[in-house]
Structure formats: C-alpha cells, structure tokens
Amino acid sequence: MSALRHAAADEGIGYLLEDQAIAADRNAIPDEKVNVSELDMPQMGKAGGLSQSAPQRDQAIDIFKGMLVLGMVYCHVLQFFSDTQLFASASYWIEAMNLITFSGFVFSFGYASQLAYYSKPLQRAAPRMAVAALKTLIAFYMSGLAYRIYIDGRAISWSTLKPIILLDDMPGWSEFLISFTYLTLVGLILFKPLKWLVERRRIALLTAAALLAATWMPYGSIHVTQLGPLVGTRDFASFPVLQYFPYYLTGMLFARYRIGWDWRVLTAAAAATGLFVWRWLQEDALPERFPPSIWWIIGAAFLLYLYYLIARYVGRYMMVSAPIEAMGRNVLWFLIMSNLLIFSLKSRHGDLLFSPLEGFIMTVLLLAFSGFGIWIIAKKTAKHGLTKTTT
C-alpha cells in the first residue's frame, strides 16, 4: 500500500496549528480598528488585487482549509478502501489530492500565522507558537501509534511507542504532522527575519523562488531520521519544511496584503503548474514526490489559487460554506478522528472495497461523525461558560 502523506487549532479542543494560531487571540491587531463586515465577506482586490488593510481572520481561509480537509479524507478513504486497478478514476483523485493537500496546508498555515503571530510582538506570539508545535507533536504521536497498532498489528508496548516519541519512526499517514511541528518551530526561530521579510514583497518573492533550489538537496546522503522532515531524505516518505517553505511565505504575503483576484498571481501560478505538466509529459510519469522535486513543489500553484478564489466566492453562501468552514476551523480534530476511524475500520474489515462514488459517501459519513463529536464538545463547553461554539 503506497503511503499518503498529507495534512493545524481552534479554541477549546486543540485543532490544527494554523487554527490555534488565530483562535489564540481574536484581536490579531489590537492597535487597528477592523470593519467586521469586511471580514465576514470575501475581499476581492481592486486594480491588481492588493490591499494594505489590516489582516485578521477571515472566513475564506477557513473554507479553503475545509476544502483541503474534504479532499484529504477522501484521498485516505480511496487509498485504504479502493483499488486503482478496478477503478481507474480513483488514481486520478488520489494523485490530485496528493499534489495539492500538503502544499495547501503550508500555504494556509503561513496565511494564518501572519494574522495571529507575525502581527504581534515576539513576546506575545512565542508562547502560542510553542503550544501549537506541541499540539501537532502530540497529534503525530497519536496518529503514528494508531497506525502501528491498527495497520501493522504491533503490540501496545514501550518498544512500539519509544521510536515514535524519539522521532526514530515515521509511521504512514502521520509524517506530515511532524513536518508541521518543525514548520512552527522554524517560524518561531525565524520570527523577526520573517516579519521583516513580509513587509518587503519583492524580496520575499525572490526568497521564495530561491528556496526552490533546496529541491536539489543531496537527499541520498541524509540518513538521520529526525532531519527528514526538515530537509528531506530518501530513507522514508517525508514532507521537508525547507522545500515547501515557499508556500508558507506566499501565504504570509496573501494575508498581509489581502490578495484576492490578481491576474499577475494567476499568470505566475498557471506558468508554474504548466511547467509541472510539461515535465510530466516529458518523462511520461509524475515528477518525484518523495523527496520532492522542484516540479512537484511548483505543480500545485494554479490549483491552489483556484481553491483560494473559490473559497472566497463560496463564503457568500452560508448554506454551502458553513459545514466546510467548520472543518477548516477544526482541521486537526477531523484529521485525527478520520485517521483513527479509517485505521480501525481497515484492521477489522480489510476486505471493504469502494468505488470512487462510494468512497466519497464514506468520506462524508466520516466527516459527519467527526463533526458530531465537535458539536457535542462545543455545546457542552459553551453551556458551562468555558468557550463559545465556533461551528
């Protein structure tokens, strides 16, 4: 079974790190007044799509993340319960989600971090970033241990748990979580340089482009397991922070300058994905994903920009956007719950076989089940005055 590696927390439960970043403080920029109506509705840029208005949490990025969650869980379901030999379309869905999901979450984390962390002094942001890193580390432990127990059939023992805790073992469908932990720590260590960089768009864009050179890293010489999530390796599937960092910087810029529709962004994104397609056709095979080649890194650009624009448009229609937005606000919860459900179901009913349509129905059921858990918890805590419901 080929490993899928995809994937940050809202108040009260401890969700994925970019949600936790924003939820940590609703008033991301205390010194500036923000028009609430402007935040509730998607903002489309004028004359190039750049606005200098103060960034704060908006609905569109949650919808964007919710769309990624839907695709991620659907991909997981197809990987565990479908057969690409019997259902050719399943492979197309899997590869499409593989291409955009992790890059999309890195982009959204950069976006959310700009709103909740880099708009504050380091002294205020650092504790929240440390907590966010800890949460994704614990999530990695949970998902990784569940994979080893349910899928690999290992005993619940110290010998199983110890390598995961020490990051000597990177279980399937869980490695991306440790990459987000690393990403948070890198963002904390480079807090001041990144904050300086985002105020200088051209230098930031040049830096993002220069970071693509990291895809020529001598991956074969890297054998320390703990370095894999940071710089990449050929020893196991990894999502190296260094190579994906251009999406983090891009997310920061989108949040800082409130970028919406912009023909320059569309052109650049289309060119990047066009190069990916050209390489695909030249080699008659998808560009390398583990470890990532430059073609794989840039390949998601156009699709992610379309996702971003769709999210801004869908936000106008509450009946459509509310469930997706709820998933986007609670990414880590949906990830952990869906992983646990998928792993346990596979261990007990390994012969289940779904068509792509049946797999989508199963995805909706898994997400509904996970969402019900959030509804119970949020309602209970609200009743006791501990927190407000966010769904």
Task: Give the confidence band of 381 by pLDDT, cuts at 50, 70, 90.
Answer: low
Which DSSP category does 233 fall into? -
Average pLDDT over residues 100-111: 97
Given a cut of 70, whether residue 54 has pLDDT beyond it is: no
Average pLDDT over residues 329-351: 94
Write down the mean pLDDT value for the chain: 85
Residue pair 182/241 in contact (Cβ under 8 Å)? The answer is: yes
Average pLDDT over residues 82-92: 95
Looking at the chain, the whole-number percentage of residues with pLDDT higher than 90 is 77
Nearest Cα neighbor of 62 from 109, 122, 119, 116 is 109
Average pLDDT over residues 358-372: 95
Given a cut of 70, whether residue 369 has pLDDT beyond it is: yes
Kindly report the pTM of this predicted structure. 0.84
Average pLDDT over residues 43-67: 61
Q: Which tops the pLDDT comparison, 250 or 21?
A: 250
Given a cut of 60, whether residue 388 has pLDDT beyond it is: no
| Number of Cβ within a 10 Å radius of residue 357 | 10
Give the residue ranges of DSSP H helices in the chain. Answer: 17-23, 36-40, 59-81, 88-116, 122-146, 158-165, 175-189, 191-198, 201-211, 228-231, 241-256, 263-283, 294-299, 301-314, 318-329, 331-348, 356-383
Average pLDDT over residues 126-149: 96
Q: Which residues contact 354 (CB under 8 A, 6 or more apart)?
A: 77, 78, 81, 82, 362
Q: Which residues contact 229 (CB under 8 A, 6 or more apart)?
A: 170, 175, 178, 179, 181, 182, 238, 239, 240, 241
What per-residue confidence (pLDDT) applies to 322? 85
| Number of Cβ within a 10 Å radius of residue 207 | 16
What per-residue confidence (pLDDT) applies to 379? 59
Given a cut of 60, whether residue 28 has pLDDT beyond it is: no
What per-residue confidence (pLDDT) applies to 314? 87
Distance CA(12)–CA(28), nearest Å, equals 18
Q: Which of 55-64, 244-253, 289-298 has the lowest mean pLDDT?
A: 55-64
Six-digit token pair at 238?
């990894």
Q: Which tops the pLDDT comparison, 105 or 37?
A: 105
Distance CA(105)–CA(309), nearest Å, equals 16
| Number of Cβ within a 10 Å radius of residue 161 | 17
Which residue shows structure tokens 């949040």?
255
Distance CA(212)–CA(190), nearest Å, equals 18
Given a cut of 90, whether residue 58 has pLDDT beyond it is: no
pLDDT, tens digit, 9 for 90 and up, residues 287-312: 999 999 999 999 999 999 999 999 99
Average pLDDT over residues 75-91: 96
Given a cut of 60, whether residue 315 has pLDDT beyond it is: yes
pLDDT, tens digit, 9 for 90 and up, residues 180-189: 999 999 999 9
What per-residue confidence (pLDDT) applies to 33? 35
Distance CA(191)–CA(195), nearest Å, equals 6
Q: Which tops the pLDDT comparison, 290 or 374?
A: 290
Overall size of the chain counted in residues: 391
| Number of Cβ within a 10 Å radius of residue 382 | 14
What per-residue confidence (pLDDT) applies to 23? 43
Given a cut of 90, whether residue 25 has pLDDT beyond it is: no
What per-residue confidence (pLDDT) applies to 347? 95
Given a cut of 80, whether residue 11 has pLDDT beyond it is: no
pLDDT, tens digit, 9 for 90 and up, residues 193-219: 999 999 999 999 999 999 999 999 999
Q: Do you find a cis peptide bond into 229, omega within 30 degrees of 0?
A: no
Given a cut of 70, whether residue 152 has pLDDT beyond it is: yes
Average pLDDT over residues 43-55: 39
Sequence ranges of the domains in the chain: 17-32+40-383
Nearest Cα neighbor of 129 from 138, 118, 140 is 118
Question: Quick check: helix, strand or coil at residue 278?
Answer: helix
Distance CA(128)–CA(109), nearest Å, equals 14
Q: Compute the Cα dihedral for 331, 332, 337, 340 and give only its sign.
A: positive
Per-residue DSSP letters for 138-175? HHHHHHHHHIIIIIS---SSHHHHHHHHTTS---TTTH
Task: Give the confidence band of 373 by pLDDT, cuts at 50, 70, 90.
Answer: confident
Distance CA(10)–CA(317), nearest Å, equals 22
- Which residue type sits at 225? T
